[in-house]
A and B are shown apart, each in its own frame.
Chain A
Amino acid sequence: MALSGLQIYKLLPQTNCKECGYPTCLAFAMKLAAKQAELANCPYVSEEAKEQLAAAAAPPVRLVTVEGKGHKVEVGNETVLFRHEKTFFHRPGLFVRVKDTTPVAEIKAAVSAAMGYSVEYVGMRLHLDGVAVEAASGDAATFKAAVAAVLEVTDRPLILMAAGAGLLEAGLAAAEGTRPLLYAATKDNWEQVAALAKAKNVPLAVRAGSLDELAELTEKIKGLGVEDMVLDPDVRDAASTLVTLTQLRRQALKKTFRPLGFPIITFPGEGAADGLEETMLAAQHIAKYGGFIVLDRFSPASAYALLALRTNIYTNPQEPIKVQPGIYEINNPQATSPLMVTTNFSITYFSVANEVDGSGLPGWLLVADAEGMSVLTAWAAGKFDAERIAKSVKSTAIESKISHKKLIIPGHVSVLLGELEEALPGWEILVGPREAVDLPGFLKLWSA
């Protein structure tokens, strides 16, 4: 938790020497609290105060990075329990698990399918993040071969899963040049596994069956010099996962309890009887505090649903989501199909596009750049006026695609009719319905 100006003041020399450039130590402390000054500007601050201030400034949930040869995944650094309080920052990594007991050719095929998968969603290309390779065989050579096989077909980051330091070391040797997450240190093996993580400078997952044991273990491991950790509280069911992950996030944020201030790894497949159940659990982990989510099953349909949900939940609620302004074709429009205009606020766009799409009727949807505001808000703010609409009509060259010159505007901005007729000479401006839901009925009556 960040310190207040007064708390920082208590750690300063309180001599008002002015060498930092501020008139008093208190003024300097206030600037530090507001992150507008650097502690290094104080020549007399004690080492002890420096440490305390640095510790207080550390994020409550540590940022942990894993890297493949071509991609990296960062999780952690979260600052809120609910997305509306600010936003969730680092989307949980979605990993797919393979076991080294599977024949190498099958491993490669499974990894290629899952890592090669991508889906287009509101103009973004979404994909899964990496592969967890498990040493289910218990044999170092087999594990090493499996890791090598996985890296032949993907450049995404790995999670290496094995029971002990020896196996993990074999996996790491095959994963040279990447920064995988090691899974996992337990009360039985932590010394060796932590020493390995320290030596190779890779993050380490820590598993324990209670929060007490988990906190004890992370403290011990930190004592060996490992800073980047990930927590597995060893819960797998829906109810216990929700409760435990919520508690972990609260410990980090509400209590600034450092021993539990790390991202969390989950295994929804281990608590599920089939793919749909696994997807439901993974959805819960996306909404409620998962950091790395390791899936046991891959199917395009469930990957799409989880990727869409992750994008939605991790969207910054303080920034409207915009769609790209331009012309959108719905149901293969022809030259005689109707032309409608709306704003580029994503929900507005979706409402309109879905209604037209659902009606089965073809249409051209002109999305004007209204800075991500809805129709009425944008109109009130002057971001969806005759000038802007006329500009988007012209800049998109829609005239060359249609044989008529009729433009349907949202009913809420019918007042723009006159101005638009002036701004778009030769065009007929039609006032459409106020609500998108009434568009299908309106379009049925359309004739060019």
Chain B
Amino acid sequence: MTVELHVEKWAGSVLQVTLGATASEGGTRARTVTVGGETTLPFLHFEGQIPNPPRIAIEISDQYPGDWSPLLLKAWGDAVNDPAAWAQAAEKAGADLVLLQLSLTKDGGAPVTAADARAATRAVLQATGLPLLVFGPGQVDADNELLVAVAEEAVGERIVLGICEEKNYRTIVAAALAHGHLVNARTAMDVNLAKQLNILISDMGMPLERILMDPTTAGLGYGIEYGYSVMERLRLAALQGDKMTQLPMLVTPGYEAWRQKECKVGEGVPASWGDWEERAVLWETITATALIESGADILVMRHPEAVRRVKAFIDRLMAK
């Protein structure tokens, strides 16, 4: 008996977005990283092209991340005190990209200034040759002030500035446009909101090839299915030819997993949760695994062991 394979003929494909710029391209990165370009659903090699594997950005912080789980602090050791050292450690741990998360305040409570953000960005750019993403602290005024300075400081490097949200994207997009960067567009787990923000940003003159979309992630056990299905719907829409959904997707399993109790704490939790460290690494790993099956192109992660595991899994999924 011959089984005739069912092969979908997709009309559309995901855009390719390149992060970083080498010396010949006006930057200083050792290499660039291109994501997107899929012409089929995740890893269905028999049906289309998957020219670029999902890539992992390791999240580092400009300040000592006092609110992070002790397990993460232990895993990164002294590097957490210095973004440059941390960026190097991230590169060693197998990161494809480095994401610098800016803080609102410094140790002692003084606000992080534009000069601080510039210094951290400069230090990280010098410490690693990987392409960089820089995210603001998530408060409108601070984001605008810090990211404009960062955009200027990193001119020509094709870094990704985030986070653009519907309530605050103009200043960040303008800064990215002026200095040759990319932006990350985040919306709250909704296909139409995602499309709308992509339209608003591209209406400002930003080419689609310089936008990543971030449909918002939830952690395993904390609503991951919402983000998962929105990602599947966005990717299906992209393959069906809906232009404003054809951007590569960035998701944040590291942040989402590590804010949950399952990762964060080892005491005062049910015995049925098992060993703390095993569970914590698993939680981030499984959150990320589910997201690559639903179309993630960039995973922002935190724990080096989870990074190693997910990278190895991606390698296996990319093997034809």
Contact = CB atoms under 8 A, between A and B. Distances in A.
B289 A284 contact: yes
A211 interface: yes
B185 interface: no
Interface string B251-295: 000000001111010000011111100110111011001100110
Interface residues of B, number: 55
B232 interface: yes
A299 B274 CA distance: 7
Interface in B199-214: none
Interface string B14-43: 000000000000000000000000000111
A183 B313 CA distance: 28
Contacts of A74: none
A347 B6 contact: no
Nearest to A210: B3
A320 B36 CA distance: 32
A358 B258 CA distance: 11
A121 B286 contact: no
Interface string B296-320: 0000000000000100110011111
Contact of B222 (A119, A246, A306, A354): A354
A243 B293 CA distance: 11
B1 A216 contact: yes
Nearest to B230: A84
Contacts of A42: none
Contacts of B316: 237-239
A301 to B, nearest CB: 3
Given A84-B229, A120-B270, A299-B275, A280 B289 contact: yes
Contacts of A121: 221
B282 A279 contact: yes
A335 to B, nearest CB: 21
A250 B6 contact: yes
Contacts of B42: 242
B259 A243 contact: no
A28 B25 CA distance: 70
B289 A277 contact: no
A255 B279 contact: no
A126 B301 CA distance: 28
A239 B283 contact: no
Contacts of A405: none
A346 B224 CA distance: 12
A361 to B, nearest CB: 13
B170 interface: no
B136 to A, nearest CB: 14
Contacts of A304: 262, 272-274, 279
Interface in A234-266: 237-239, 242-243, 246-247, 250-251, 254-255, 257, 259-260
B272 A120 contact: yes
Interface residues of A, number: 56
Residue among B270, B283, B289 with the most chain A CB within 10 A? B289
B3 A260 contact: yes
B293 A312 contact: no
A191 interface: no
B228 interface: yes
B56 to A, nearest CB: 14
Nearest to B294: A287
A324 interface: no
Contacts of B45: 239, 243
B309 A276 contact: yes
Nearest to B42: A242
Nearest to B292: A284
B6 A255 contact: yes
Contact of A312 (B221, B271, B320): B221
B226 A251 contact: no
A12 to B, nearest CB: 31
A120 B262 CA distance: 13
Contacts of A354: 222, 259-261
B110 interface: no
B320 A82 contact: no
Interface in A96-135: 117-121
Given A247-B6, A276-B309, A287 B293 contact: yes
A25 B161 CA distance: 65
A251 B274 CA distance: 39
A255 B7 CA distance: 11
B98 interface: no
A300 B229 contact: no
B44 A347 contact: no
Contacts of A312: 220-221, 223-225, 228
Contacts of A212: 1-3
Interface in A121-154: 121
A315 B279 CA distance: 23
Given A215-B1, A254-B6, A354-B222, A301 B229 contact: no
A277 B274 CA distance: 17
Across chains A and B, which 3 residue pairs bring their CB atoms closest together, nearest first?
A301-B274, A300-B274, A301-B279
Interface of B: 1-6, 41-46, 218, 220-226, 228-229, 232-233, 236, 259-262, 264, 270-275, 278-279, 281-283, 285-286, 289-290, 293-294, 309, 312-313, 316-320
11 contacts: A82-B229, A243-B45, A257-B3, A287-B294, A299-B275, A301-B274, A304-B262, A309-B221, A312-B224, A350-B223, A354-B222
